[in-house]
């Protein structure tokens, strides 16, 4: 079964702080994604990538950077965290191609105080 | 514009059935997926449909009508453990040749009562 591991699972930071969320997938999937999930909004795509060194902008990219350092690793960076970025963040991966299943990590709960 | 709409809540009774509706609008439709998400857990893939009609997968069945921009997930012989959120996600081919961008609805919270 596809494995997507996120760290940390929980994080609290202050407004203006610098946060990095990590994600690793061990199934050689081409595509990796960062989503945020908020009540009333569902899952919203922040950034995604189709391979090492590639980055594509999602639907809610403001305030976020991302980097795909290897096939396995995808990082989400919040350089000046704001309370509006308090959310549940999911990393996901998929092999690519229409109809393929997307596998999600267990999520990172981020609180910006 | 593009969007995926789902009712926020649905209630049903153990042993009966539940139909979770999803409507969407997109000019680049390239398939629709359903995911189950339990409280505090990650979404888990249930089904994918791209052609019109009913796809029977046993406990879960999925219907699609592309001309109406409509899908539903049908759960039969409901059990208490089916209580969860069910997410509808539309794949849009305008976002890359392989159409891997998913647009999610807010999810429908299904409560199954005894």
Give tens-digit pLDDT for B1-20. Answer: 468 999 999 999 999 999 99
- A24-74 pLDDT, tens digit per residue, is 999 889 999 999 999 888 899 999 999 999 999 988 999 999 999 999 999
Give contacts of B22 with chain A, Cβ < 8 Å.
none
**Cα A50 from Cα A71, distance rounded (Å):** 9
CB under 8 Å to A62, separation ≥6 — which residues? Answer: none
Sort out which chain B residues have CB atoms less than 8 A from A59's CB and list them.
Answer: 103
Helix, strand, coil tally for chain A in percent (to 5):
5, 50, 45
> Of all residues in chain B, what percent carry a pLDDT higher than 90?
77
Provide the pLDDT for residue A99: 56
For the stretch B63-90, what's the b/e string if a residue is b when 16 or more beta carbons lie within 10 angstroms of its beta carbon?
Answer: bbeeeebebbbbbeebeeebbbbbbbbb
Question: Cα(A60)–Cα(A8) distance, rounded to whole angstroms?
Answer: 22
Q: Is residue B18 within 8 Å of B10, Cβ to Cβ?
A: yes
Cα separations in angstroms, A23 against A34, A74, B13? 9, 5, 39
Residue A19 parent element (H or E): strand A19-25
Mean pLDDT value across chain B:
91
A contact residues 24-63, partner B, Cβ 8 Å cutoff: 31, 35, 40-45, 48, 50, 56, 58-59
| Spatial distance between the Cα atoms of A13 and A86, rounded to a whole number of angstroms | 10
CB B53 within 8 A of CB B39: no
Cross-chain residue pair B98–A96, CB shorter than 8 Å: yes
Task: Please tell me which of the candidates A44, A102, A105 has its beta carbon nearest to residue B45.
Answer: A102
How far apart, in whole angstroms, are the C-alpha atoms of residue B69 and residue B79? 29
Answer yes or no: is pLDDT of A77 > 70.
Answer: yes
Q: For residue B58, is pLDDT > 80?
A: yes
Cis peptide before A8 (omega within 30 of 0): yes
Cβ(A87)–Cβ(A36) under 8 Å? Answer: yes
pLDDT averaged over chain A? 93
**Residues A1/A6/A89/A21 CA torsion (nearest 10 deg):** -150
Q: How does strand B9-13 pair with strand B3-5?
A: unpaired
CA dihedral (B63, B2, B44, A48) positive or negative: positive
Show residues of chain B in contact with A106, CB under 8 Å. Answer: 41-42
């Amino acid at each position: 079964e596809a494995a997507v591991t996120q760290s940390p699972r929980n994080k609290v930071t202050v407004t203006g702080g610098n946060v990095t969320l990590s994600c690793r997938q061990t199934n050689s999937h081409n595509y990796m994604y960062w989503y945020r999930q908020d009540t009333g909004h569902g899952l919203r795509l922040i950034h995604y990538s189709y391979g090492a060194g590639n980055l594509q902008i999602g639907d809610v990219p403001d305030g976020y950077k991302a980097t795909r350092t290897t096939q396995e690793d995808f990082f989400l960076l919040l350089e000046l965290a704001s309370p509006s970025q308090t959310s549940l963040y999911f990393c996901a991966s998929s092999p690519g191609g229409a109809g393929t299943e997307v596998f999600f990590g267990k999520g990172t709960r981020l609180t910006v105080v | 514009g593009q969007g995926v709409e789902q009712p926020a809540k649905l209630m049903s009774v153990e042993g009966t059935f539940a139909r979770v509706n999803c409507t969407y609008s997109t000019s680049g439709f390239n398939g629709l997926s359903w995911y189950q998400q339990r409280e505090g857990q990650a979404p888990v893939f249930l089904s994918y449909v791209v052609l019109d009609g009913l796809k029977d997968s046993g406990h879960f069945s999925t219907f699609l009508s592309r001309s109406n921009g409509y899908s539903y997930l049908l759960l039969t012989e409901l059990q208490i453990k089916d209580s969860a959120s069910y997410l509808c996600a539309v794949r849009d081919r305008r976002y890359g040749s392989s159409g891997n961008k998913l647009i999610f609805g807010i999810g429908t919270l299904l409560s199954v009562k005894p």
